[in-house]
Amino acid sequence: MVILGKITGPHGIRGQVKVFPFTECINGLMQYPKWWLSHNKKDWQIVHPTASSIHKNGLITALDEYQDRTAAAELKGLLIAIPRDQLPELSKNGEDGYYWTDLIGSNVINMRKEPLGSVINLFNTGANDVMQVQLSNGKETLIPFLEQQVIKQVDLELRQIVVDWELDY
């Protein structure tokens, strides 16, 4: 399962939910007729999104299975996933691509081969994508995910990302 979003709470009185998508396009989740929901990434419940609208940086979505606010409120915090085999093939002009979820847990090193930490999250700020890195000292830092400028290499096999970033930034 590939996590593509999270339900952040109910919306209105008819069972709609607010969704924070982890997809490149805000409404990218709506191309899937079924979503799998879970708190623990193990026990999945299938739901069917029927209608959606973009609201700020998220979606307002109706689900077939939920018709009132009380039921929708119980979905707050649930992760939204899609089985990997239902995702589109990746390619960037013929080059291999990757999903953000594939980068979580990757080691981050700088151009001097100094280890910085590991990726714990990626998100979009509106201006650009950002990689959240857990440093080896336990602190966290944010690194702009700007390919060629900051991100120099992504190696999925080694689970390693090389960045043009210094330890003291």
Q: What residues make up the domain containing 82?
A: 2-86
**73-104 pLDDT tens trace:** 999 999 999 998 898 877 554 456 788 888 98
Which CATH number is 141's domain given? Answer: 2.30.30.240
Cα–Cα distance list, 18 to 11, 51, 78, 121, 165 (Å): 6, 12, 11, 20, 35
Asked if the model's pLDDT at residue 12 lies above 60, the reply is: yes
- Considering the domain architecture, whether residues 6 and 81 belong to the same structural domain is answered as yes
C-beta of residue 68 within 8 angstroms of C-beta of residue 15:
yes
Domain end residue (candidates: 59, 86, 113): 86
State in Å, rounded, how far the first CA of the chain is from the last one. Answer: 34
Pairing mode, strands 107-110 and 160-163: parallel
**Mean pLDDT, to the nearest integer, of 64-69?**
92
Domain end residue (candidates: 86, 116, 139): 86
Domain end residue (candidates: 86, 115, 134): 86
Matching residue, tokens 């709470």: 9
**134-154 pLDDT tens trace:** 998 889 999 999 988 999 999
pLDDT for position 78: 95
pLDDT for position 52: 87
Considering the domain boundaries, does residue 60 fall inside one?
A: yes
